[in-house]
Amino acid sequence: MIQKLIAGIERTGAPVVVGLDPMLSYIPEHIKKKAYEEYGETLKGAGEAIWQYNKGIIDAVYDLVPAVKPQIAMYEQFGIEGLIAFEKTVRYSKEKGLVVIGDVKRGDIGSTSQAYATGHLGKVQVGSREYTGFDEDFATVNPYLGSDGIQPFIDVCKKEKKGIFVLVKTSNKSSGEFQDRVVEGRPLYELVGEQVAKWGESCMGEDYSYVGAVVGATYPEMGRVLRRIMPKSYILVPGYGAQGGKGEDLVPFFNEDGLGAIVNSSRGIIAAYQQEKYARFGSMNYADASRAAVLDMKEDIARALSGRR
């Protein structure tokens, strides 16, 4: 799947993933109105509004980017009905040829971690038959519990040719509270990065591993160091756009081959029509605004990367 992701990045020229993190406040009124007319102001109505909103965005951007990253929390808050919208979003994105990174940040141990890996990336046995649960292509995983938590994911990745991105240095302000603590003269996130590189060795695609890392765009200097520590790991970079990261901040996350990183933007793309810059599209054409925002983001990143050559 890392090969499919890289091929998609090369085909579209866009190391970009669109974060499908819908909030009801992002969804245009006409979509909500229609969903509530059909199902009432219910969890099912909310799920339907989210799904229709996502579908519009996917249809508008699927030819421009290699991947989408639905954030499961935004669906989970609506309970079962929200998760049905998540499942539909994953399935439809894959039908459109997109790689799906499930931003689930799961992490547990042993058989429990295995169950998460099964539910998100693998197949589950029921009697004599096999089924998929949510069936994303990649999942994000939390490393706090150590190798016992990661290994079951790696086992499933090997079997299914899927991948994970392990949280190393997150984009938020307080990420340093624990991640930056100095252990034997080096910050903890570097030690986590070294483990990611080690975990990744057992699970290689061609040039890159199935085991990637999450490093926030808001910390480009740390990104530079981590890039060296994990040369074979793809880095998923959140924090661009709404969280403050800029095109030039992204350069250190890429390898010399122009690969090695994929940058996420969520609100900046999916709610672009709410920004002054894209207000001309209006809420009826919210998906066109998202398309324009993707094109601008691609250009911003291409400019930053060409600048370094």
Residue 12 or 52 having the CB closest to a copy of itself: 52
Q: Are 190 and 182 in contact (CB under 8 A)?
A: no
Distances from the Cα of 277 to the Cα of 45, 64, 232, 285, angstroms:
30, 20, 37, 14
DSSP 14-75: --EEEEE---GGGS-HHHHHHHHHHH-SSHHHHHHHHHHHHHHHHHHHTTT-SEEEEBTHHH
Q: Annotated catalytic, 55?
A: no
Residue 125 or 306 having the CB closest to a copy of itself: 125
Task: Give the whole-angstrom CA distance, residue 41 versus residue 213.
Answer: 39
Catalytic residue among 105, 123, 161, 246: 105
| Strand, helix or coil for residue 77 | coil
Instruction: Tell the smallest beta-carbon distance from residue 39 to a copy of itself (Å).
Output: 10
Q: Does 112 bind a copy of itself (CB under 8 A)?
A: yes
Q: Does 170 bind a copy of itself (CB under 8 A)?
A: yes
Residue with tokens 């508008």: 60
Q: Does 258 bind a copy of itself (CB under 8 A)?
A: no
Task: Give the whole-angstrom CA distance, residue 250 versus residue 164.
Answer: 21
Q: Restricting to residues 21-60, which ones interact with a copy of itself according to CB under 8 A?
A: 21, 23-24, 32, 36, 41-43, 45-46
Among 63, 79, 228, 279, binds a copy of itself (CB under 8 A): 79
Task: Give the whole-angstrom CA distance, residue 287 versus residue 143.
Answer: 35
Among 4, 106, 227, 298, binds a copy of itself (CB under 8 A): 106
Q: Restricting to residues 192-231, which ones interact with a copy of itself according to CB under 8 A?
A: 192, 195
Residue 167 or 292 having the CB closest to a copy of itself: 167
Q: Does 110 bind a copy of itself (CB under 8 A)?
A: yes
Residue with tokens 């924090």: 239
Q: Are 6 and 232 in contact (CB under 8 A)?
A: no
Lay out the site mask for a copy of itself across 114-153 (x = CB under 8 A, - = otherwise).
-xx-xxx---xxxxxx-xxxx-------xxxxxxxx----
The stretch among 94-102, 110-118, 285-293, 295-303 that binds a copy of itself (CB under 8 A) is 110-118
Instruction: Tell the smallest beta-carbon distance from residue 94 to a copy of itself (Å).
Output: 15
Cα-Cα-Cα-Cα dihedral of 305, 18, 154, 190, to 10°? 50
Measured in degrees and rounded to the nearest 5, phi and psi for residue 204 equal -95, 145
Instruction: Tell the smallest beta-carbon distance from residue 187 to a copy of itself (Å).
Output: 10
Residue 6 or 27 having the CB closest to a copy of itself: 27
Active site residues: 105
